[in-house]
A and B are shown apart, each in its own frame.
Chain A
Amino acid sequence: MAAPVVEFRNVSKTFAGHKAVRGISFHIDKGEFFSILGPSGCGKTTTLRLLAGFEEPDEDGGEVRILDEVVNHRRPYERKLAMVFQNYALFPHLTVEKNVAFGLEQRGTPKGEIVTRVRNALENVRLDPVKFGGRPPAALSGGQRQRVALARALVLEPSILLLDEPLGALDLKLRKEMQLELKSLNRRLGITFVYVTHDQEEALTMSDRIAVMDNALIAQLGAPAEIYEHPRTAFVARFIGESNFLEGAYAGREGTWALVRRADGSLVRGRGGDGRAEGAAVKIAVRPERVELVQPDAVPEGFDALPATVRQVVYRGEMLHVRVTLREGGEMVAAMRNEGQIRNPVRWQEGVACMAVFAPDDARVLEEDPA
């Protein structure tokens, strides 16, 4: 198998005693759309800057490898990558054309070739070279600047493109549009994308794989569906999508499922939990859309059910979020489609008794968050 395009081997970075990245390892394959996702301060930006070459790992801080070479001490201009910055970082004193040509000029590309490649790059990001080429960045809208920044990076035909929250400043509609466009550029050009964001929806939409970072570590790495369906820790379950949490004590196994004893003695089943000691305090996560509310006497076979009372119904148009108080303490949210009377004749109202029901396969026994 071909060597990965990017590889981090146990990489650490410390700033004045503060550990920004604590011994992380991962690899990125050629052509992959790889996202690094996490809240601010989690270390995702430092990870990207280590890859770009703006930061060097600590001494004995592991290895950053690009195309099978250790690049720990290589300057950014010695690495075969390009980058799109959060605020675009377009040169305000240069026209759009000159901005896009900047990297080629630095590399000593012949004049005639620069002209063609700049034009192609602008067309690639759907900017009319004739109309926009001569303008300064200040005369462009946010979306257009974004495209120029992209063209300026792509014109170099890099093997890796780094993107640091590039869509943060755009409005929602434009952001959705650019998400699809970035994804299709990634597919069409075969360039490896490394995308840093704090927006979980963005990461889920575009990525082949996501590294979720928390507290200077990678909390979980996997395909979007894997991370959403099988969050490993409470942090991941909370940060990617929404989750209901149930607490209890590990009480052994029933087939492939783990058993968790709740405070009132009832048992709840869920996946995972391997290797936990009997009696250990554990958390279970269940997605709101996997929780259903049924009448107390209508619990279907094979589901776990928790007696509850409807506390609040939040109307969200297409969806209804029904918040219930569990009889043995705590609460849960059930997200349901706002369907018509035929399919869903029960209208949940405050104070109504019900059962919160979910399949054991939709419940996940979480690992502990690392310190």
Chain B
Amino acid sequence: MSGGGGSGGGGLRLAWLRWSARRPGVRAWSLMAPGTGWLLVFFLIPLGFMLAYSFMKKGVYGGVEPGFTLEHYLRFFDPLYLTILLRTVVYALGCTFFSLVMGYPVAYVISRSGAWKNLLMFLVILPFWTSFLVRTFAMIFLMRDTGLINTALIAMHLVQEPIEMLNTPFAVMTGLVYGFLPFMILPIYSSLEKLDPSLLEAAEVLGARPFARFTKVVLPLSMPGVVAGSLLVFIPALGSFLTSDLLGGAKEMMVGNLVQNQFIAARNWPFGSAASFVVMGVVLLAVFGFLKSRDDSAPGGL
């Protein structure tokens, strides 16, 4: 190994091994250093700046001026912005709900598909091969007045006028669910896949019919996947801006769009930062509330 070059290097290596052997924490830290360093420099420090900005005064051409003020946070309580926040939370919750309702059965079926499992899971993650932006544009082509869906409906004489889909909540929700569904399927699939089939047989011999087997055995044992999937969908959905921008138009603005506008168009960095922190607060509250409620309800431990 590295110590092979000379007695000096070997001695150094030996010294390190001896020294660190007595301090197991040091070895763990040295393994974690690259990852933690990365997060520290590129996540935690910028976050600190943002937090500081959110309490400073707005600069004339963007940026900030020194000082301390709560005005940006207070401004957020304007009904205009609260509506946006509420809409965002509703979208994120809705997206989580629909992803769960549609994703669970998919994950369930795939987990029981034997030899087809890997192919089917491959198909689930296939959309990631193209950029989300491109895929969202593709949805515009599907949903616009002269798009595939309306053209087909009119051709079949099912409707006279094109149905207005773009720039509606329907379009935004569809886009969000489309984008985040795989994040729901993956963790649920992995917890269902680990489910020991003999547990279902045991339940069946004990008298459980299919519905009871699902509610008493399958569902509780896949809850870790449901929790992970819900968080993986809810959190990014809360911060998403691309879908609402392209499919929702100005009417369906989400907090993500607000932040983006404040930083890029309005050049109001402090308010943009404050809005970000409000979203972060909502996420933290939601996640802790969610995990706490699960702790209390499952004394058996999962």
Q: Give A residues with C-beta under 8 Å from B.
A: 52-54, 75-77, 81-83, 85-87, 89-95, 98, 102-103, 106-107, 136, 138, 152, 156, 162
Compute how far the CA of A278 lies from the CA of B301 in the bound complex, rounded to whole angstroms.
Answer: 71
Which among B221, B300, B302 has the greatest number of chain A C-beta atoms within 10 A? B300
Q: How many A-B residue pairs have CB under 8 A?
A: 66
Closest residue of chain A to B204, judged by CB? A76
Q: Are B198 and A89 in contact (CB under 8 A)?
A: yes
Q: Are A77's CB and B221's CB within 8 A? A: no
Write out the residue numbers on chain A whose beta carbons fall within 8 Å of the beta carbon of B112: none
With A87-B196, A102-B206 given, name 14 new contacts (CB 8 A): A52-B205, A75-B204, A76-B205, A85-B201, A85-B202, A89-B201, A90-B202, A91-B203, A91-B221, A94-B300, A103-B207, A106-B212, A136-B301, A156-B206
Q: Interface code B149-192, partner A: CB below 8 Å = 1, 0 otherwise? A: 00000000000000000000000000000000000000000000
Which of the residues A85, A95, A152, A156 comes within 8 Å of B300, measured between beta carbons?
A95
**B220 and A83 contact, CB distance less than 8 A:** no
Contact of A93 (CB < 8 Å), options: B202, B204, B209, B300: B300
Q: Is B208 an interface residue (CB 8 A)?
A: yes
B206 touching A103 by the CB < 8 A rule?
Answer: yes
Quick one: which of A53, A91, A138 contacts B217, CB cutoff 8 A?
A91
Interface of B (DSSP majority class): helix
Contact sample, A vs B, 14 pairs, CB 8 Å cutoff: A52-B201, A54-B204, A77-B208, A77-B209, A83-B201, A83-B202, A89-B196, A93-B300, A102-B216, A106-B203, A107-B207, A156-B206, A156-B207, A162-B205
User: With the chains together, A83 CA to B300 CA distance in Å?
Assistant: 24
Distance in angstroms between the alpha carbons of A201 and B202 in the assembled complex: 27
Give the complex CA separation of A82 and B202 in angstroms. Answer: 9
CB distance from A22 to the nearest CB of B (A): 24
Contacts of A95 in B (CB 8 A): 300
State in angstroms the CA–CA spacing of A162 and B302 once bound together.
29
Are A77 and B205 interface neighbours, CB within 8 A? Answer: yes
Flag if A106 contacts B300 (CB, 8 Å).
no
* CB-contacts of B192-236 with A (<8 A): 196, 198-199, 201-209, 212, 216-217, 220-221
Q: Does B298 interact with chain A (Cβ within 8 Å)?
A: yes
Measured CB to CB, the nearest residue on chain A to B216 is A102
CB pair B205–A82 under 8 Å, yes or no, is: yes
Q: Which residue of A lies closest to B201 (CB)?
A: A54
Question: In the complex, how many angstroms separate the beta carbon of B194 from the nearest chain A beta carbon?
Answer: 11
With A89-B196, A103-B206, A106-B208 in contact, do A76 and B201 touch (Cβ < 8 Å)?
Answer: yes
* A contact residues around B212 at 8 Å (CB): 106
Contact partners of B202 in chain A: CB under 8 A: 83, 85, 89-91
- B206, A93: Cβ atoms closer than 8 Å: no
Chain B residues closer than 8 Å to A89, beta-carbon distance: 196, 198-199, 201-202
In the A-B complex, the 9 residue pairs with the closest CB atoms:
A106-B207, A103-B206, A89-B202, A89-B198, A83-B205, A76-B204, A77-B207, A76-B205, A93-B220
**Chain B residue with the shortest CB-CB distance to A107:** B207
- Looking at the assembled complex, report how far the CB atom of A248 sits from the nearest CB atom of chain B, in whole angstroms: 48
Q: Is the CB of A91 within 8 A of B205?
A: no
Q: Is the CB of B221 within 8 A of A92?
A: yes
Instruction: Write out the residue numbers on chain A whose beta carbons fall within 8 Å of the beta carbon of B302.
Output: 93
Residues of A close to B300: CB separation below 8 A: 93-95, 98, 136
Chain A nearest Cβ from B153, distance in angstroms: 45
Residues of A within 8 A of B209 (CB): 77
Q: How far in angstroms is the closest Cβ of chain A from B46?
A: 41
Residues of B within 8 A of A76 (CB): 201, 204-205
**Complex Cα spacing A256 to B148, Å:** 91
B34 to chain A, nearest CB (A): 34
Task: Tell me how far the C-beta of B69 lies from the nearest C-beta in chain A, rounded to whole angstroms.
Answer: 51
Given the complex of chains A and B, what is the CA–CA distance between A362 and B221 in angstroms?
A: 57
Given contacts A83-B205, A106-B212, contact A93 B198 (CB under 8 A): no
Q: Contacts A85-B198, A87-B198 known; A93 to B298 CB distance under 8 Å?
A: yes
A36→B148 CA distance, assembly (Å)? 64
- Distance between Cα atoms of A90 and B198 in the complex (Å): 9
Q: Find chain B residues with CB under 8 A from A106 CB.
A: 203, 206-208, 212
A residues less than 8 Å from B201 (CB atoms) = 52, 54, 76, 83, 85, 89
